[in-house]
């Protein structure tokens, strides 16, 4: 089998493949798209980093390709839909930089606490200013961890070695799982109000962009220290700079930026109590070696038929089974994304009941897609269709899969019940006559909603004028309504409106809709 490595990879990974009997490895870096397209048909495996863009056009030309391996977390440079359609497994290495990023986080916490960069610069300048650089101890302080995944949990474990108390906010981790890690789960607001240090370890998404802004900073202690080694844009840079200017926080440490490289005049960097580094989270020799070894072993095992790990599309299925299940896999992911953006609280259980012809096949790929959709709005690229069940298990979420042959209201039905510590959320889905996904029930309300694109979800009292009021607001903002569906529990009772729109909607517009008389709740969700 021939494997192409098109981006620089640590030698340790290359050697694993070279030592595998029956493998021939070619290292060709810096290929232009046309060059890659012209040779890709020769290869069974492709290993990339961020430099190579594996487009649908390149995948179409990949007649023999079985595996694409990304030495890193992101797979945004791979057309996953095209790869899936062609039967190519796409894998990444989500764990390779865990230790390096966690250690950098602790380094920044210590540097920020003891003014190490500032003191070093002063000493290099020929000054002796001991009294100027008095610091604070970590012992006994409270560290608030936003996101208790691999990196967040590793940071928490390291910080416990310094005698810190750890609290965390993660809607996808149960209190029991967190307790086993020696971490107290708290609400987002409580974490902001009570932490001496706050560190962020979540993916950037529509849900997490601007998660920490002026309002959230205003809830923090005046002597709090904020650390971001996750992704730029999760913390509002303008709000952070203003907080430093006004003395609302004791300091910050930042490794990631909204734009990279950041502008030379980035306001927050000018403050003495801001420690800044140029995105060094994975920049250790060990991390580069780890991801190289991890992806080399994963690609080798996949090509040898020894199992697939960290795949970002779906498990291997026969062509016949996949052809039948594909629209249900798509339906399930859309249902999951729809529900995942509306849930309140930490998830404890996901129960999926299948009814209809699909029960003649193995439905686990549908379940994986559903769970992936539920978890993806918060966990982002760290969860995929292959690892979603393992990720759910790690977080103490019990996933039940039930195949029913009992007569149901719909011939083919995927019925999902999601339990959290605050509510039970129900969503039903099926396919229309032309195999298009439809949501047909939300909690106790029957609807026929199209789970696609930008959707404004509204809970309201069943009163006249709601549609007109919402339409007026959207028309004024020149937002076109693509479709709208309604449902209600009882006449005059709770109603649901699902509005499909052709463009993004500003949060101010959503707030105006929510402030409309008889509207109880409004949220923009993206499927």
* 279 part of the active site: yes
The SS3 call for residue 168 is strand
Active-site option among 231, 395, 438, 488: 231
Active-site option among 34, 130, 260, 320: 260
The answer to whether the beta carbons of residues 383 and 376 sit under 8 Å apart is yes
CA distances from 263 to 238, 240, 258, 267, 269 (A): 13, 16, 10, 9, 10
The answer to whether the beta carbons of residues 518 and 463 sit under 8 Å apart is yes
CA distances from 516 to 177, 509, 510 (A): 40, 11, 10
Give strand pairing partners of 497: 458, 486
Spatial distance between the Cα atoms of 192 and 198, rounded to a whole number of angstroms = 8
Nearest CA to 483 out of 441, 450, 516 is that of: 450
Spatial distance between the Cα atoms of 71 and 478, rounded to a whole number of angstroms = 43
SS3 content of the chain, % helix, strand, coil (to 5): 35, 25, 40
Active-site option among 279, 326, 349, 489: 279
**Pairing state of beta strands 347-355 and 274-276?**
unpaired
Angle at 366 between CA 364 and CA 367, to 5 degrees: 65
CA distances from 342 to 44, 377, 458, 526 (A): 42, 10, 11, 11
Residues taking part in catalysis = 231, 260, 279
């Amino acid at each position: 089998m021939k494997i192409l490595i098109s981006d620089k990879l640590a030698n340790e990974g290359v050697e694993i493949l070279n030592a595998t009997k029956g493998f021939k490895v070619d290292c060709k870096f810096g290929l232009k798209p046309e060059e890659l397209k012209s040779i890709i048909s020769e290869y069974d495996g492709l290993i990339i980093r961020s430099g190579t863009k594996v487009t649908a056009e390149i995948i179409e030309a990949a007649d023999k390709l079985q595996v694409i391996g990304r030495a890193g977390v992101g797979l945004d440079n791979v057309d996953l839909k095209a790869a899936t359609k062609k039967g190519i497994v796409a894998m990444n290495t989500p764990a390779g930089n865990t230790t390096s990023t966690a250690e950098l986080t602790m380094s920044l916490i210590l540097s920020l606490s003891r003014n190490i960069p500032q003191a070093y610069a002063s000493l290099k300048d020929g000054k002796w200013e001991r009294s100027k650089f008095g610091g604070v101890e970590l012992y006994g302080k409270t560290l608030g961890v936003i996101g208790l995944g691999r990196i967040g949990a590793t940071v928490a474990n390291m910080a416990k070695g310094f005698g810190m108390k750890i609290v965390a906010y993660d809607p996808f981790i149960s209190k029991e799982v967190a307790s086993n890690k020696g971490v107290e789960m708290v609400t987002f607001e409580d974490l902001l109000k009570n932490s001496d240090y706050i560190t962020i370890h979540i993916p950037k998404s529509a849900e997490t962009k601007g998660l920490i802004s002026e309002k959230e900073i205003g809830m923090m202690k005046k002597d709090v220290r904020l650390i971001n080694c996750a992704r730029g844009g999760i913390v509002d840079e303008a709000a952070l700079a203003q907080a430093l200017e006004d003395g609302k926080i004791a300091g910050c440490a930042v490794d990631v930026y909204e734009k990279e490289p950041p502008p030379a005049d980035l306001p927050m960097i000018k403050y003495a109590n801001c420690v800044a580094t140029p995105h060094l989270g994975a920049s250790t020799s060990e991390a580069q070696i780890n991801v190289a070894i991890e992806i080399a072993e994963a690609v080798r095992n996949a090509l040898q038929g020894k199992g697939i790990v960290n795949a970002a599309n779906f498990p291997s299925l026969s062509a016949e089974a996949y052809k039948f299940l594909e629209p249900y896999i798509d339906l399930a992911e859309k249902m999951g994304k729809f529900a995942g953006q509306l849930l309140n609280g930490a998830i404890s259980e996901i129960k999926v009941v299948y009814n209809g012809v699909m029960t003649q096949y193995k439905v686990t790929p549908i379940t994986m897609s559903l769970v992936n959709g539920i978890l993806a709005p918060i966990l982002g690229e760290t969860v995929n269709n292959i690892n979603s069940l393992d990720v759910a298990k790690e977080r103490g979420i019990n996933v039940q899969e039930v195949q029913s042959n009992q007569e149901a209201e719909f011939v083919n039905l995927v019925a999902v019940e999601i339990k959290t510590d605050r509510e039970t959320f129900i969503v039903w889905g099926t396919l229309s006559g032309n195999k298009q996904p439809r949501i047909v029930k939300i909690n106790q309300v029957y609807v026929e909603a199209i789970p696609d694109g930008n959707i404004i979800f509204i809970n309201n009292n069943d009163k006249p004028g709601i549609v007109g009021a919402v339409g007026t607001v959207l028309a004024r903002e020149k937002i076109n309504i693509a479709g709208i569906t309604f449902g209600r529990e009882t006449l005059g009772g709770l109603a649901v409106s699902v509005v499909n729109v052709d463009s993004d909607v500003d949060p101010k517009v959503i707030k105006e809709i929510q402030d409309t008389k008889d509207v109880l709740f409004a949220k923009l969700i993206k499927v």
